[in-house]
Chains A and B, each alone.
Chain A
Amino acid sequence: MSSYHAVVIGGGGTGAAIIHDLRLRGVQATLVERGELTSGTTGRHHGQLHSGARYAVKDRSIARECMQETYILKRIAKESIENNYGLFVALDDEDLEHAPLFMQACVESGIPIKEVPVGEACEMEPNLNPQITRALMVPDGTLDAWRLPLQFFATAGHNGAAIHTFSPVTGFHYGGSAVTGVRAYDLKTRSERTIGADLVINATGAWAGQVTRMADVEIPITPGPGTMVAVRKRLTNMVISHLHPADDGDILVPQRGLSIIGTTQYRTDDPDDIAVPEEDIANMYACADTLVPSFSAQKYHAAWIAARPLVGAASSADDARNLSRDFSVVDHGKSDGREGLLTVIGGKATVLRAMAEQTVDLVCAKLGIDEPCRTANTELLSHRAYFT
Chain B
Amino acid sequence: MDEKQCTFRIYRSNIDHDGAECNVRREEFSLAVNARMTVLDALEVIRRDQDSSLMYRHSCHHGSCGTCGMLINGKRRLACLTQATALDGDRIDLEPLRTMTLLGDLAVDPSPLFADFPRNATYVRESEVNRDCRKPFEIDRWERFEDCIECGLCVSSCPVTESFMGPAALAAHNREIINRPERRRELLAEVNTERGAWPCTRALNCSRVCPTGVYPAMHIAELRKKVEEDGLTPAAEPGEQRSAETTP
Q: Give the residue of B81, B134, B142 whose beta carbon is less than 8 angstroms from that of A302.
A: B81
A125-B130 in contact (CB<8A)? yes
The B interface, classified by DSSP as helix, strand, loop or mixed, is loop
Residue A15 at the chain B interface, CB threshold 8 Å:
no
Residue A113 at the chain B interface, CB threshold 8 Å:
no
Residues of B within 8 A of A257 (CB): 144, 147, 212-213
Residue A38 at the chain B interface, CB threshold 8 Å:
yes
Q: Which of B180-200 contact A (CB under 8 A)?
A: none
Task: Report the separation of the CA atoms of residues A137 and B138 in the bound assembly, to the nearest whole angstrom.
Answer: 11
Task: Report the separation of the CA atoms of residues A7 and B54 in the bound assembly, to the nearest whole angstrom.
Answer: 24
A79-B142 in contact (CB<8A)? no
A255-B136 in contact (CB<8A)? no
Given contacts A145-B60, A278-B1, contact A84 B111 (CB under 8 A): no
Q: Which of A363-388 contact B (CB under 8 A)?
A: 382-384, 387-388
Residues of B within 8 A of A123 (CB): 133-134
A189-B17 in contact (CB<8A)? yes
Residue A334 at the chain B interface, CB threshold 8 Å:
no
**What is the total number of residues of chain B having a CB less than 8 Å from a CB of chain A?**
61
Interface size class of A (residues with CB under 8 A): 35 or more
Residues of A within 8 A of B150 (CB): 384
Residue A217 at the chain B interface, CB threshold 8 Å:
no
Given contacts A123-B133, A382-B120, contact A188 B36 (CB under 8 A): no
Chain B residue at smallest Cβ distance from A277: B36
Q: Give the residue of A81, A189, A301 whose beta carbon is less than 8 angstroms from that of B62.
A: A301
B59-A145 in contact (CB<8A)? yes
Residue B207 at the chain A interface, CB threshold 8 Å:
no
Given contacts A39-B59, A189-B17, contact A166 B103 (CB under 8 A): yes
Which of B121-129, B155-163, B220-228, B229-237 sits within the interface?
B121-129
A387-B113 in contact (CB<8A)? yes
Query: Taking each of B36, B60, B80, B144, which has the highest tally of chain A beta carbons within 10 Å of its own beta carbon?
Result: B60
Chain A residue at smallest Cβ distance from B146: A256
Residues of A within 8 A of B23 (CB): 190
Given contacts A82-B145, A137-B136, A234-B129, contact A188 B55 (CB under 8 A): yes
A256-B58 in contact (CB<8A)? no
A304-B61 in contact (CB<8A)? yes
B110-A387 in contact (CB<8A)? yes
Which of B3-11, B63-71, B87-95 sits within the interface?
B63-71
Residues of B within 8 A of A144 (CB): 64, 123, 145
Residues of B within 8 A of A188 (CB): 14-15, 55, 103-104, 107
Encoded as 1 (CB less than 8 Å from any A CB) or 0, chain B from 11 to 41 comes to 0001111000001000000000000101001
B139-A85 in contact (CB<8A)? yes
Query: Taking each of B36, B62, B115, which has the highest tally of chain A beta carbons within 10 Å of its own beta carbon?
Result: B62
Chain B residue at smallest Cβ distance from A119: B134
B48-A124 in contact (CB<8A)? no
Task: Report the separation of the CA atoms of residues A139 and B59 in the bound assembly, to the nearest whole angstrom.
Answer: 26
A388-B104 in contact (CB<8A)? no
Residue A216 at the chain B interface, CB threshold 8 Å:
no
Residues of A within 8 A of B123 (CB): 79-80, 144, 147, 382-383
Pairs A-B, 6 closest by C-beta atoms: A43-B59, A146-B65, A304-B61, A302-B62, A237-B142, A123-B134
Given contacts A301-B63, A387-B114, 20 further A-B contacts (CB under 8 A): A36-B57, A36-B107, A39-B59, A44-B62, A82-B144, A84-B143, A142-B144, A142-B145, A144-B64, A146-B66, A189-B15, A190-B23, A234-B129, A254-B129, A256-B212, A257-B147, A260-B62, A275-B41, A301-B62, A301-B81
Q: What are 30 A-B residue pairs whose CB atoms fall within 8 Å in the complex?
A: A36-B57, A39-B57, A43-B58, A43-B60, A81-B124, A82-B127, A83-B143, A84-B139, A85-B138, A114-B136, A124-B133, A139-B138, A142-B145, A146-B65, A147-B65, A166-B104, A188-B14, A230-B62, A234-B144, A237-B127, A256-B145, A256-B146, A256-B147, A256-B212, A257-B212, A257-B213, A258-B64, A302-B62, A384-B150, A387-B109
User: Measuring CB to CB, which residues of chain A are less than 8 angstroms from any residue of chain B?
Assistant: 35-39, 42-44, 78-85, 114, 116, 120, 123-126, 137, 139, 142, 144-147, 166, 168, 187-191, 228, 230, 234-237, 254-258, 260, 272-273, 275-276, 278, 281, 301-304, 306, 382-384, 387-388
